[in-house]
Amino acid sequence: MHGIREIARASRSLLMTTSILTLLHHSARADAVVQLEVRPSSVDSRVRDFDEFNYVTYKDADLSGRPLVVFLPGTNGKPGNLRMLLNNIETFGFPVIGLEYNDSPAVAQICPDDPSPECAAGFRRMRTFGGTSLSPVFNQNYETVTTRLHSLLSHLVDGDERWRHYLKEDGINWQNIIISGFSQGAGMAAYIAKQEMVERVVLFSGPWDFVRPEEKPAPWLYQAGRTPNLRWFGAYHVKERTVRQIRGAYTALGIPEDHLTVFDHDIPSTIGPEAKNPYHVSTVRDPSNIDAWRRLYLGGQKQ
C-alpha cells in the first residue's frame, strides 16, 4: 500500500512538472496558443471529488497585463465540454481558465422548496467561499471555487511568474479577473461579483434562483454588491424553459438593458433534440454566436 501511495504521488508530481514545462516551452512564441488540461487533484492533493480537468488556454502575449477570464460551467458540466466557447474567448485577447468545481446538485434542485429565503445565498456562499454559515449543502473549504482557483493559479505561477498578476498576498486579485459562467456557473459568477470587485461579469442563461410560492428572485440577487452595474453583462435565449426566471434574475441584479444579449434564432443541428433544454445550452454551444460573445466580453462601458 505504501508503494501505491508513492506511485500516485509521483504521478501527480509528473503531471505538474509536465504542465510547467509546457508553459516554459511555449513562452518563446508570443503568438502561440497554449492549451493545458490540469486536474484539480494534481495541484491540491486534498481534492477527491469533481476532479475533471481544468482547461487553460492563452497566448503568451496576453499574459502581459490582460484580464483573465475565469469561466464556471453549469450543473454536471465539464470545462472541456466548453472548449469551443473558451477557445473563442481566447481569440478576443484574454487568457482563459475553465474551472472544474463542485457543481452538483444545483441550487434549483434544492432551494425553491426550502422555507428559508436565504437558502440560495447560503448554498452559493458555501460552494464559493466555504465557511461555517448556514447552508443546505456542505463542502470542505479546500473544495470551494475560490480555493480551487487559487491553487490552480499558484501552480501556473510555478511555470510563468506573469500569472502572479492574478494573485495577491491574501488570495486572488479579483480586480484583474473577468468572472463568467453558464447556468449554475453563472450564478456562482454573479455571487462572486457581489462579494468582490471584478473587472467584468459575463453571465449565460443564469442564475434563476427564486423563492416559492410566488417564484420571486432570491433576496441575494437584489443586494448591493462590490462590482458596479455597468460591468455586468448577460445573455439568454427567448425559448429557454426558465427564461422568466432568468429575466427576473437579471432585473434583480441590475444589469443594464443595453448590456443584455437576447438570442432568438433556431439552434444548430449539432445540438440534438435529445438535449433536455436545447435552447438553454445553445447560448454557449452555438458557434454562430461568436459576434455576440465578442460584444459580451469586449463591448460596453466600464466604471
Boundaries of every domain in the chain: 2-298
For residue 205, the 8-state DSSP code is S
Residues of the chain with pLDDT under 50: 1-28, 303
Count of CB atoms situated within 10 Å of the CB of 214: 6
Average pLDDT value for the chain: 88
- Which is nearest to 82 in space by CA: 223, 180, 195, 219? 180
Please give the CATH number for the structural domain made up of 2-298. Answer: 3.40.50.1820
**Residue 92 is which amino acid?**
F
Phi, psi for 268 (deg, rounded to 5): -70, 160
pTM of the entire predicted model: 0.89
pLDDT digits (tens, 9 = 90+) for 165-200: 999 998 999 999 999 999 999 999 999 999 999 999
Measured distance CA(211)–CA(1) in Å, rounded: 50
The amino acid that residue 11 corresponds to is S
Judge contact between 96 and 202, C-beta under 8 A.
no
pLDDT at 64: 85
> Looking at the DSSP assignment, which residues form a beta bridge with residue 182?
204
Q: What is the rounded CA–CA span in Å between residue 5 and residue 301?
A: 52
Q: Tell me, what's the pLDDT at 300? A: 76
The span from the CA of 232 to the CA of 179, in Å, is: 10
HSE toward the beta carbon, residue 6, CA cutoff 13 A = 3
**CA dist 219 to 63, 101, 119, 174, 186, Å?**
38, 24, 10, 24, 17
Amino acid at 270: T
CB of 43 within 8 A of CB of 16? yes
For residue 68, the model assigns a pLDDT of 98
> Whole-angstrom Cα distance, residue 186 to residue 249?
11
